[in-house]
Each structure stands twice: as structure tokens, then as C-alpha cells.
Amino acid sequence: MANPIPNLFKIPELKEKIFFTLLALLIYRAGAHITAPGIDVGVLQEQFRQLQGTLFGVYDLFVGGALSRATVFALGIMPYISASIMFQLLAAVIPTIEKMQKEGEEGRKKLTQWTRYATVGLAFIQAWGYAVFLQNFSGPEGARAVVYPGFGFLLSTALILTAGAIFIMWLGEQITERGIGNGMSLLIFFSIVETLPAALGRTFESFSTGGIGIPALVALAVVIVGVMAAVVAMTMAARKIPVQIPRKVLGRGRIREGQKSFIPLRINSAGVMPIIFAQSIIIVPGTIAAFSQWEFLRGLSTTFQPGSWWYYLSYTVLIVFFTYFYTAIIFNPVDLAENLKKQGAFIPGVKPGARTAEYIDHVLSRITLPGSLYLAAVALLPFFIFDLFNIQAFFFGGTSLLIVVGVALDTVQQMQQHMLLRHYEGFMKKGRVRFRGRQRYM
């Protein structure tokens, strides 16, 4: 297939999945522009620009600006993702959760239900805190963001935002089940992509006013394309460990021939999570300083602002640390070695069991270092580019770039799998063998 795009809508099942996904995303983005009742959005957005370097600014990026507009979908999909990460981390220390992860479909269903309950609780806590923040929020000349403050506003806003978060969780699950791609990831993907037109508009406005010259604009475009290509290459890069499956007699004269396979260990097994963890920690001083009058906190916030070497060094160390930390949580070499041993498979030159687990852990530790440095480079490169070309704001940061590329690759791969399956189904239907002559019965 030289150009598979025209063939996407020729497959009825795939066409229905694509249309359902687009409809769900349209509903999500429409709800992200409906403001919660009793809030003056103008006052809120005017002051929210000062919080771009804080935790609120990062959260607002993942929900497509819904937080700064105080919409019914202001919390986005983040409470569900926070609950999922929480259970993923707890599985490393609580045997009950780890057991449920290994129980198959029933265990996963029970864990999913627990995650939903935790999402409701986290969403209500975040919604109540955000309502309190809005009620205490004042703009220039004492203008209030909340028209009618009080307990009624706090309760109604908390319930509305919690209901919005639950609806988004359901919408994401429906996309995963009935649409194409991972629903939760696609919701974040389109929230980030939605900011592209505004960011491009600001860039070209700066170009028209003389803030950016033509050489800088061309160089910026080349660098962005190059970085995106490098991100794609590193996202798909993997270290292949060879695995030998020996010949086995299955009974009644059936023999399974020996096979050669491999275990793909990704260079970037942790994905974008180390950057999110590191970013959540490093922006804490700035977030606290934004609501505090202490000179010490303000000085600390200035020290850890983008542009300082303390910021770059701390950011890099945190990313490397969380890359190893998160990889150790999501990847268990002991379980992998046990599964290989149960299947009778082995790594050539390595004894099955504990030696195999040690070998896999050794290889994983070695490839995680360049993976962590690559994440740090992707996270910090936009800051150097913006300083070099004197750009105040643009679309791609390190976190958003990795999310957009990762989700796009995953969605494209799922589409290709559907098309490949359809292709082979058609081949089998057309290539059906018909027997002639008398039919024999055994």
C-alpha cells in the first residue's frame, strides 16, 4: 500500500471506529469551552497568565486550556491518570494489588473498578481545592473571579467538575473500547494539539513585528523537524535480546519445532512519565512562591527558573533518577525470566532462572542511561532553542512533544494492524481451496 490513507474509509469497521473517535473528541473539546456557572472568565484568564511556569500552567497544558477558562471539563483526564499511576506504584509495595495484576482478566477488571473509585475521590478533592482557589482569586483592582462566593459555590463547582471528570473518564474508556487508539492518551493528545494554532499565531505575530527574522524562523523549523524525527527514532528504538525456544513434543505425534525469537527492550521504557514527575517537583518552588510573600521562597523560585544552570542541572538529575525509578516499577526482570523458564525458552549462553533475570536487568540498566539522557535532552532542548531565537512561547515543549509523537505512533500502528488484518482476511477468502470429487468422511 503506497498511500494507505484513501483505504482507511474503505474498511467498514475501521471507518466506524475513526468516526466514533472523532465524534467523542469533538464532544470533549466542546465541553472544554463551557464555563462553569458563577465565574468571570475574563478576570481569571488575565491573572492566569502569571501562573504559566507553575503547577497550574503545566496542568492547563494537559487539559487544553480548560483550567484557565474554568470549564466543566477543567480537571480533564488527569484524575484518572493520577489514580492509574498511583495503583501502578502501589503494586510495587502492596502484594494484593500486584496479585490482581497477575490474575488475568478478572484481576484487571477489579483493579480497573478500584481505579474508577479512586478517580472519583481524587476528582472531588481536586475540584474542591480548585473551587477554593477560584473563590480566593482576585484580579486587578480587586476584581473577583467568582460572582457569588460562598459554600453554595464551592459545593456546586466541586460537583460539576467532578461530574465532568467522570464523564471524561467514561468517554476515554469508550474510545479505547469502540474507537481507535488509546482513549486517555488521545484526549491529552488533542488537548495539546489544540494550542497549536494560537502558538503559531504568536510566532508569526512576533515575525511580523520584527521579533524573529527569516533566518531564525527557517532555522527554528529545521530544528523542530529534526527533533521530531529524533524523537520518533528513539521512541521506536529497542535492544533485541535473542531467545531460543527448543523443539518440544506435545503428544499424539505432534511436535513443535524449535523457534528463534527476541525480547525487545525499549531504549525509552518509561515513556514521558520521568519528565512529568521531574517537572512536577521542580515547579513546586515557583508554585508556592506565586502565593507567598516570603522573600526566601521568592529567591528560591528565581534560582529554579528556566534559564538558570541550577534549573537545568536539577531537571536533568531528576529525569535520570525517575527514568530508572519508573523503569524498575513497570519492568520486572524476575517475572520475565520465570515466564521464559515456564515456556522452556532461554537466552543463548545464559542459564535459565536467576542468571537470566540478572542478565536482563544488566542490559536494561545499560540502555536506560542513554534513554534517560535522551529524555533530558528532549526536555531541555526547547529552552535553549527559545533562548537562541528569542522566542517567548511556542507549541512544543519536551513533555508535549513526547506525548504527541508517542500517541500518534501508537494510533497509526493500530490503524495499520486493522488494515493488515483486513488484507489477510480478504486473501484467505479469495484463496479458499475447493475440493473436487467424492467427499471422504473420517
Domain boundary among 193, 227, 252: 193
Q: Which residues pair with 245 in a beta bridge?
A: 259
Listed in sequence order, the DSSP H helices in 264-353 are: 273-282, 284-290, 295-303, 309-330, 333-342
Count CA within 13 A, CB hemisphere, residue 156.
Answer: 12
375-396 burial code (b ≥16 CB/10 A, e <16): bbbbbbbbbebbeebebeebbb
Residue 346 lies in a domain: yes
Question: pLDDT grade, residue 142 (50/70/90)?
Answer: low
Same domain (yes/no): 154, 223: no
Q: What is the pLDDT of residues 221-277, one digit of tens each?
A: 787 787 788 888 888 888 888 888 776 666 665 666 667 888 888 888 887 778 877
DSSP state letter for 343: T
The whole-number pLDDT of residue 407 equals: 83
Average pLDDT over residues 319-329: 87
C-alpha cell at 5: 490513507
The whole-number pLDDT of residue 434 equals: 45
Question: pLDDT grade, residue 120 (50/70/90)?
Answer: very high
Q: Which residues pair with 346 in a beta bridge?
A: 244
The whole-number pLDDT of residue 438 equals: 43
CA distance 302 to 286: 8
CA distance 405 to 185: 11
List the one residue out of 369, 390, 396, 367 whose CA is nearest residue 228.
Answer: 396
DSSP state letter for 39: B
Is the pLDDT at 424 greater than 60? The verdict is no
Same domain (yes/no): 129, 261: no
- In angstroms, the Cα distances linking 204 to 123, 197, 229, 358, 394 are 38, 11, 23, 54, 10
CB-CB neighbours of 172 under 10 Å: 23
Same domain (yes/no): 2, 79: yes
> What single-letter amino acid sits at 338?
E
Domain boundary among 158, 193, 228: 193
Same domain (yes/no): 225, 145: no
Same domain (yes/no): 189, 203: no
List the one residue out of 369, 407, 380, 396 whose CA is nearest residue 268.
Answer: 369
Instruction: Please measure the distance between the N-terminal and C-terminal CA atoms of the chain and give it in whole angstroms.
Output: 43
State the Rg of the chain over Cα.
26
Same domain (yes/no): 213, 145: no
Q: What does the mean pLDDT of the chain come to? A: 78
Residue 167 lies in a domain: yes
Same domain (yes/no): 205, 262: yes
Comparing 51-65, 97-111, 327-341, 350-364, which segment has the lowest mean pLDDT? 51-65
Question: pLDDT grade, residue 23 (50/70/90)?
Answer: very high
Is the pLDDT at 433 greater than 60? The verdict is no
What is the total residue count of the chain? 442
Residue 240 lies in a domain: yes
Same domain (yes/no): 26, 135: yes
Same domain (yes/no): 183, 270: no
DSSP state letter for 259: E
Residue 297 lies in a domain: yes
Domain that holds residue 335: 196-394
Domain at 45, CATH number: 1.10.3370.10
Same domain (yes/no): 127, 259: no
Q: What does pTM read for this prediction?
A: 0.76
CB-CB neighbours of 291 under 10 Å: 11
Domain boundary among 193, 217, 236: 193
Same domain (yes/no): 316, 359: yes
The whole-number pLDDT of residue 4 equals: 61
Is the pLDDT at 430 greater than 70? The verdict is no
The number of distinct structural domains making up the chain is: 2
Q: What is the pLDDT of residues 283-306, one digit of tens each?
A: 666 666 655 666 666 666 666 676
| Backbone CA torsion sign across 36, 37, 42, 45 | negative
The whole-number pLDDT of residue 124 equals: 93
Question: pLDDT grade, residue 104 (50/70/90)?
Answer: confident
Give the H or E element holding residue 254: strand 254-256
Question: pLDDT grade, residue 167 (50/70/90)?
Answer: very high
Same domain (yes/no): 221, 353: yes
Question: pLDDT grade, residue 6 (50/70/90)?
Answer: low
Question: pLDDT grade, residue 121 (50/70/90)?
Answer: very high
Is the pLDDT at 331 greater than 50? The verdict is yes
